[in-house]
Each structure stands twice: as structure tokens, then as C-alpha cells.
Amino acid sequence: MANKKYIAFLRGINVGGHHKVPMAELRNEMVKMNFDNVITILNSGNIVFTAKASEIEHMQRTISDNLSKAFGFNIPTIIRKSEMIQELIDNNPFKGIILAKDIRLSVSFLSKNIKTDLHMPWTSDDNSYSIIGKIDNNIFSVLDLSINHTPKAMEVLEKYFGKNITTRNWNTIKRIAKKL
């Protein structure tokens, strides 16, 4: 069975000085789990790796369980195939969004496809946060920090999609795609 390329997104590590996970140790733990060509990108828990084709939910549990034991706290993990990330880049869900200094584009990854009654595009009352769309287990959002420096984006996402979610800036996704 051929190796396939995957990206693991870890939730809640190295945020605000909490749940510290050094990238060298993270790479070592992934190698111990028999993953190959392990590359970490940034300090926020983005791992490109190759593995024998496998059920993603099983890999997510395996990585999460092993990393949680190794580092001593819960590390939720969401995995995407490299082809899916490349498809996001190729189709750019943010085309048409006018970029400015205070605009932040983000992709939120769900561990499972959650149905919601949220009608998209959805915008917060103060217009600082918009969920512009959802494709499969991926949600696309726009923050406007010129309106509100602390929009309640994660609260909104968790309300409609649950807590099994992790979010990355679009620039991070583009950076990951360069390593695929």
C-alpha cells in the first residue's frame, strides 16, 4: 500500500504560554508512531507527514492519544489529506474578499461534518466576523479587527459546530501548501 501525504492540525498547543510542545519533540513523537517525512510548520501544531493510507479517524485518535500521553495534556488532532489542502488553495474560498491591514482570513477544520441551522454567509451584529461558507468539514471565516479587536469568533464556531474544531489563518494554510 502506497504512502499518502497528510496534514495533522493540533488544537490548543503553544497558545499564550500554555500547553507547550517543542516542535523537535513533536517530530520525534510522530516518528515513534511510524510516520515518515515529518515536517512541522510554525509553532501552532501543523504537521505534514506521510503514512500508509489509513482511516483518518483512526489516525486522529492514534496521534491524539499518543501525543496526549507524551506531553501530559489533551491534544485534539484533526487530519486532512494533502489533496484537500491543495484543492482549497486552488479554489481559494476567499477570492473576492478585499484584503486590508485589519482583515484576517481563516479556515476552521471540523473533526466530523456537522450539520447546522446556521445560514451562510453569516455576519455578527457588529459586522466584525463573518462565516462566508462551509465545504465538507471546512469553514471559511473573515475577521475585521478594525471594528472589534476581540470578536467572539471561536464562541460562534463552537456554538454552531461544537468544540471538535481547530482554526488556522489562511496564510498558514498557504504556507503548509508550499510543503506538500
pLDDT at 17 over 90: no
Do 152 and 124 contact (CB within 8 A), yes or no? Answer: yes
Domain C-terminal end among 56, 84, 112: 84
Do 177 and 8 contact (CB within 8 A), yes or no? Answer: no
Are 126 and 157 in a shared domain?
Answer: yes
Structural domain containing residue 20: 3-84
Do 134 and 140 contact (CB within 8 A), yes or no? Answer: yes
pLDDT at 16 over 80: no
Are 102 and 143 in a shared domain?
Answer: yes
Q: Residue 102: its pLDDT value, please? A: 94
Q: In angstroms, rounded to a whole number, what is the distance separating the alpha carbons of residues 70 and 137?
A: 28
Are 74 and 45 in a shared domain?
Answer: yes
Are 59 and 106 in a shared domain?
Answer: no
The confidence band for 112, taking pLDDT boundaries of 50, 70 and 90, is confident
For residue 175, being part of any structural domain is answered with no
Strands 103-110 and 3-10, sheet pairing: unpaired
Do 60 and 46 contact (CB within 8 A), yes or no? Answer: no
